A and B are shown apart, each in its own frame.
Chain A
Amino acid sequence: DQQVKQNSPSLSVQEGRISILNCDYTNSMFDYFLWYKKYPAEGPTFLISISSIKDKNEDGRFTVFLNKSAKHLSLHIVPSQPGDSAVYFCAAKEVNFGNEKLTFGTGTRLTIIP
């Protein structure tokens, strides 16, 4: 049962344009969402997060949008740069006290075309 889904395994975007990565979830107990970026042969690194009490969080070129009613979040990268080519994972955390685990999606491989 995949509670966090990234339905696009891959995405190609021209350098300078906007990259939009999508993520859907099914568990209404998730209250915190994160995006991670992973280069080959490296561990994932934290990119940006959003609490369920917000609908938008921005950090430089990266913006995450959350639509709770649709159980959908998206990551926007503007403008896209070649160094953004990586696999992006969305992740979600439940509100339950003491539950420390993150549930990850399957990942989207983003390729930025120069």
Chain B
Amino acid sequence: DVKVTQSSRYLVKRTGEKVFLECVQDMDHENMFWYRQDPGLGLRLIYFSYDVKMKEKGDIPEGYSVSREKKERFSLILESASTNQTSMYLCASRGGGSTGELFFGEGSRLTVL
């Protein structure tokens, strides 16, 4: 089974803090994604990566950056957290050539005070 592991299930941070969300997948997938889920807004794509050191902006990249130094690891960075970044963050991966099925991690619930 594909396993996508997110490092923290729950985080509480203060406004202005730098936040790192880590994601690791064990299936040698080329593609990795960061989404956020908010009530009434569904899942919105923040960034994705189709290869090591490659990244593409999603629909809502503002206030975020990413890092993919190794194939299995995709990190989401909030340089200066703000209260509107309080959300559920979901990491996902998918193999190259796939028709679309994403494998998600369990999510990281971030609260910014």
Contact = CB atoms under 8 A, between A and B. Distances in A.
A104 B41 CA distance: 9
- Of B43, B58, B106, most buried by chain A (CB within 10 Å of CB) is B43
A98 B48 CA distance: 12
B64 interface: no
Contacts of B100: 32, 34, 49, 91, 93, 102
Interface residues of B, number: 28
Interface in A40-90: 41-46, 49, 51, 89
Contact of B42 (A49, A89, A93): A89
Size category of the binding interface on chain A: 20 to 34
Contact of B48 (A34, A93, A100): A100
Contacts, number: 63
Given A101-B33, A101-B48, A46 B40 contact: no
Contact of B58 (A36, A101, A106): A101
Interface of A: 4, 6, 9, 32, 34, 36, 41-46, 49, 51, 89, 91, 93, 98, 100-107
